């Protein structure tokens, strides 16, 4: 990386930052700023991703490893099997293969170009964004779906909200769909925990307000998935503390700050109403779908079990890459529905077939295990950054729905940031030469 010309290096780094901002504000472009271009803006990060790959190749810094090689092979092979054996649609095959051929390699480019300082800077910027983001959520939560703040993709007057509870809708923030809001604040959570536990130079006022924003986002989002992810991040933090007890005092301070903020918020009708709606949604969903343990077993372990048990009903080479996406469904049938499986691993096996589908799953398992082992070894040395970020990246990389552009973007981003965490560290711990 030292041999890379500074101009090219900085240009690629700016491109990664643009990817980050487009991920967060892509929905704002599609809903409010350029609604007439909402369809092409769905893949606005794809040309940027191609350019970043081109620049990495040009400067000979595109890392190559078993994970990238395997995913690129599957991406290319699945494109041809989709055209000649599967659904036969060129646009759908291109849309499906871009996941493995563009966004997956970007994970390693981010991990090569970014260093620890960049990872921390991303976190600070994210905390600043979370403050106006939660204010926007509040306006969306309490406003009718016909209001401008709730405008849907392409300026849809029906609104971008998704059914929540008690007549309230799940807000989408600056994202196209409501899952983006849950993913964003799930991404915010480990950074807030890390900054409270570390001695990094960040304004305690901004950190406190961002913590307040995170707490407000839970009821305003009406999302059980967000609550589940926050619990996971807290559990990861406690695991780190058991290995490094000296952090216990800081963790207790973090809990006290959170408890104090909740006490203050509970006195306001604004928060009380949102909490009542969230509780109603939580209770209703628990009756029909099960509690938080159901979110884990059904969406995580259930996806694995379902992919295995249903594999004998799927063509050997699958139905074709892209067919399990909403875009693929719209192009093939004219309607948005799950043609294969809502679960990610079920979609992979259904689209790619038994060999390539399980191959893609094993590659995702392999890379997350590699990162997990390296992250935990850093905890033992007193470095909490990769481990706490892993609390979001673990399930996101392993089983998030890459068929959905926002989910794919957050997976690409957190994967790259996790790899970048190991740069500028001890030489033997560099994943630039080990993992990638």
Q: What is the pLDDT of residues 318-374, one digit of tens each?
A: 899 999 898 988 888 887 777 887 788 889 999 999 999 999 999 999 999 999 999
What six digits make up the tokens of 135?
Answer: 């204010």
What does pTM read for this prediction? 0.90
Q: What is the 3-state secondary structure (H, E, C) of 312-366?
A: HHCCCCCCCCCCCCHHHHHHHHCCCCCCCCCCHHHHHHHHHHHHHHHHHHHHHHH
Can you give the pLDDT at residue 337?
A: 77
Q: With contact defined as beta carbons under 8 Å apart, do 331 and 92 qualify? A: yes
Over the chain (436 residues), what is each successive 10-residue block's mean pLDDT?
67 96 94 90 94 92 90 96 94 95 96 94 96 94 86 78 69 90 96 87 89 91 88 90 74 73 71 76 62 55 60 83 90 81 87 93 95 93 92 93 94 97 56 42
Q: What is the pLDDT of residues 32-90, one digit of tens each?
A: 999 888 888 999 999 999 999 999 999 888 888 999 999 999 999 999 999 999 999 99
Q: How many helices (H) and strands (E) does the chain have?
A: 18, 2
Can you give the pLDDT at residue 83?
A: 96
Q: With contact defined as beta carbons under 8 Å apart, do 114 and 127 qualify? A: no
**Residue 220: CB partners within 8 Å, gap ≥ 6?**
134, 137, 138, 141, 171, 274, 278
């Amino acid at each position: 990386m030292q041999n890379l010309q500074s101009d090219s290096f900085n240009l690629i780094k700016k491109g990664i930052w643009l990817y980050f901002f487009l991920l967060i504000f892509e929905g704002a472009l599609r809903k409010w700023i350029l609604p007439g271009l909402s369809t092409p803006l769905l893949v606005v990060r794809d040309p940027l991703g191609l350019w970043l790959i081109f620049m990495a190749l040009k400067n000979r810094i595109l890392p190559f490893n078993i994970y990238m090689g395997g995913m690129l092979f599957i991406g290319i092979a699945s494109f041809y099997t989709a055209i000649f054996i599967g659904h036969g649609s060129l646009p759908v095959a291109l849309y499906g293969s871009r996941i493995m051929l563009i966004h997956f390699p970007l994970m390693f480019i981010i991990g090569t170009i970014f260093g620890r300082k960049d990872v921390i800077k991303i976190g600070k910027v994210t905390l600043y964004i979370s403050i106006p983001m939660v204010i926007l959520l509040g306006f969306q939560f309490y406003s009718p779906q016909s209001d401008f703040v709730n405008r849907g993709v392409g300026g849809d007057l029906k609104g971008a909200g998704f059914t929540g509870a008690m007549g309230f809708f799940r807000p989408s923030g600056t994202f196209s769909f409501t899952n983006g809001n849950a993913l964003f604040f799930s991404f915010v959570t480990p950074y807030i925990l890390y900054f409270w536990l570390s001695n990094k130079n960040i304004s305690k006022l901004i950190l406190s307000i961002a913590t307040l924003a995170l707490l407000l986002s839970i009821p305003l989002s009406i999302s059980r998935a967000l609550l589940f992810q926050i619990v996971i991040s807290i559990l990861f933090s406690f695991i780190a503390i058991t290995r490094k007890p000296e952090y216990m005092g800081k963790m207790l301070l973090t809990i006290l700050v959170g408890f104090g903020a909740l006490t203050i918020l509970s006195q306001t009708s604004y928060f009380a109403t949102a909490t009542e709606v969230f509780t109603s949604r939580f209770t209703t969903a628990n009756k029909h779908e099960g509690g938080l343990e159901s979110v884990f077993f059904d969406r995580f372990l259930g996806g694995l079990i379902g992919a295995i048990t249903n594999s004998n009903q799927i063509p050997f080479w699958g139905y074709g890459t892209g067919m399990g996406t909403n875009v693929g469904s719209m192009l093939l049938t004219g309607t948005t529905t799950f043609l294969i499986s809502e679960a990610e691993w079920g979609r992979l096996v259904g689209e790619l077939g038994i060999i390539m589908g399980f191959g893609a799953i094993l590659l995702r398992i392999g890379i997350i295990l590699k990162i997990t082992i390296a992250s935990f070894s850093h905890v033992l040395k007193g470095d909490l950054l990769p481990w706490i970020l892993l609390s979001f990246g673990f399930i996101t990389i392993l089983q998030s729905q890459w068929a959905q552009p926002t989910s794919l973007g957050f997976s690409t981003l957190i994967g790259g940031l996790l790899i970048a965490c190991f740069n500028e560290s001890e030489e033997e711990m560099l994943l630039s030469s080990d993992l990638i």
